[in-house]
Amino acid sequence: MSEIFKGIDTIRYEGPQSKNPLAFKFYDAEKLVMGKPMKDYLPFAMAWWHNLGAAGTDMFGRDTADKSFGAEKGTMAHAKAKVDAGFEFMQKLGIEYFCFHDVDLVPEADDINETNARLDEITDYILEKMNKTGIKCLWGTANMFSNPRFMNGAGSTNSADVYCFAAAQIKKALELTVKLGGKGYVFWGGREGYETLLNTDVKFEQENIARLMHMAVDYGRKIGFTGDFYIEPKPKEPMKHQYDFDAATAIGFLRQYGLDKDFKMNIEANHATLAGHTFQHELRISAINGMLGSIDANQGDYLLGWDTDEFPFDVYEATMCMYEVLKAGGLTGGFNFDAKSRRPSNTYEDMFESYILGMDTFALGLIKAAEIIEDGRIDGFVAQKYSSFNEGIGAKIVAGEATLEELADYAHNLKNTTEPCSGKQERLQGVLNSILFK
Ligand code: XLS
Ligand code: CA
Ligand code: CA
């Protein structure tokens, strides 16, 4: 196997002063942050579909990048060339994980049995590479949104036959995830939603999705999958209404159908903002419910209403993300760059520079989040803000020992209302800036 990314060496840390575009400025894998090497906080993953598949085609134009990697597209030779390219790429960047959909790995055949045979062959090859390099699988998933048969949904389809196709794909993708030692298995419900209630039975569709997820959990556990199942919330696109709108909705769904012990959230930054939330909000809601599992690290464009899957470079967002992750005690999953270089960034060099940007952004976020925690002013303010619940009547309320009558009596004895406590938002924003830009 010959080198694919010729002229691009292993990417090294050179520090913030470096002008070398092919070097890390902030990601220094072994550098200690709060007592642990950076790479332990940041299990980065390569998204097979974007990095090795997406070549720039959009609604108005065809590919701008060459992702043939020297083989004819649509062949098994090309599937193998993608494996070679992917492993060389991850090794050169020091990325330890990858994520995949079934159909990212091989060209889908007309017959599902043939597709599965191809998947067996390619995963044997991937496994060889994993053993040689130590690179691991973060999560796997089944693409149940591209094939036309899923136009009315997969778990939410009206057709029992299509539902069985979805089951067959999940079964195979779970087997592959177990074969590759994946830590997680993702459900992203791209077609699980609707355009109009004129033709949709929402209750039935949601119940059927839950049934499929239960079957997946049962089968996964039976074949030795010990990792987490994830729901990846997204409010819209491709559907107008998607059932996994945001973390709160998905968590409610999981609890309603008794799936909450086996599932966590895979939070994607771009999906959070499409739902009208911040990335940090989605992480916090997941974390306080014990369901922060993994992250799809990308960013959207606030001026556009769709899923642009850009490489993250917003340091504020990355900092607040890492603040949530540190406060939650880390992730059981990792940081999957579900991101693509912009269409005019069409060279091999751009593929590397995109990942360098993403990894550096999160490294900087980690460094700054640790500084916020060590600084203590923000956490200290929040603790102080609620301190009236630490003693007296407040402590009684928190302990669940108060009655409504008792609280009313207490209020009647107060001479006047107490002074409202300032939220100090601007002060805290200033603190954040002073830490970010010191
Ligand atoms: C699409 C999603 C998808 C999931 C995996 O918007 O981000 O790529 O991550 O199916
Ligand atoms: Ca995603
Ligand atoms: Ca996305």
Contacts of 401 (CB under 8 A, 6+ apart): none
Tell me the pLDDT tens digit for each residue of 320-355.
Answer: 999 999 999 999 999 999 999 999 999 999 999 999
Q: Are 184 and 230 in contact (CB under 8 A)?
A: yes
- Stretch 204-221: mean pLDDT: 98
Residue 403 CB: number of other CB atoms within 10 A?
Answer: 9
52 closest CA partner among 81, 26, 29, 27: 81
What does the DSSP 8-state code read for residue 311?
Answer: P
Per-residue pLDDT band for 177 (boundaries 50, 70, 90) equals very high
141 lines ligand 1 (CB under 6 A): yes
Catalytic residue positions, numbered: 101, 104
Distance of CA 289 from the midpoint of ligand 2 (Å) = 21
Backbone angles phi, psi at 395, to 5 degrees: -65, -35
Range(s) for CATH 3.20.20.150 in the chain?
Answer: 12-375
Q: How far is the CA of 132 from the centre of ligand 1 (A)?
A: 29
First-to-last CA distance in the chain? 47
**232 C-beta closer than 6 A to ligand 1:** yes
In sequence order, what are the residues at sequence separation of 6 or more whose Cβ sits closer than 8 angstroms to the Cβ of residue 131? none
Mean pLDDT over 295-312 rounds to 97
User: In the predicted model, is pLDDT for residue 298 greater than 80?
Assistant: yes
Give the residue, by CA position, lying nearest to ligand 1 atom 8: 338
Kindly report the protein residue whose alpha carbon is nearest to atom 5 of ligand 1.
Answer: 188
Enumerate residues with CB within 5 Å of ligand 2 (an ion).
Answer: 268, 296, 338
**Is the CB–ligand 1 distance for residue 175 below 6 Å?**
no
Nearest to 48 by CA among 96, 103, 1, 9: 103
Nearest CA to 317 out of 286, 258, 277, 285 is that of 277
Among the bound ligands, name the one nearest to the CA of residue 140.
Answer: 1
Percentage of the chain lying above the pLDDT 70 cut: 99
pLDDT tens digits for range 400-438:
999 999 999 999 999 777 777 899 999 999 999 999 998
Q: How far is the CA of 174 from the centre of ligand 1 (A)?
A: 17
309 pocket-lining for ligand 1 (C-beta < 6 Å): no
- Scanning 9-75, the segments in alpha helix (DSSP H) are 38-41, 48
pLDDT of residue 123: 99
Q: Determine the topology of domain 12-375 in CATH.
A: TIM Barrel (3.20.20)
186 Cβ closer than 6 Å to some ligand 1 atom:
yes
Q: What angle do CA 167, 294, 46 make, to 5 degrees?
A: 85
Residue 26 near ligand 1, beta carbon < 6 Å: no
CA of 387 to the centre of ligand 3 (A): 40
- Report pLDDT digits (tens) over 72-113: 999 999 999 999 999 999 999 999 999 999 999 999 999 999
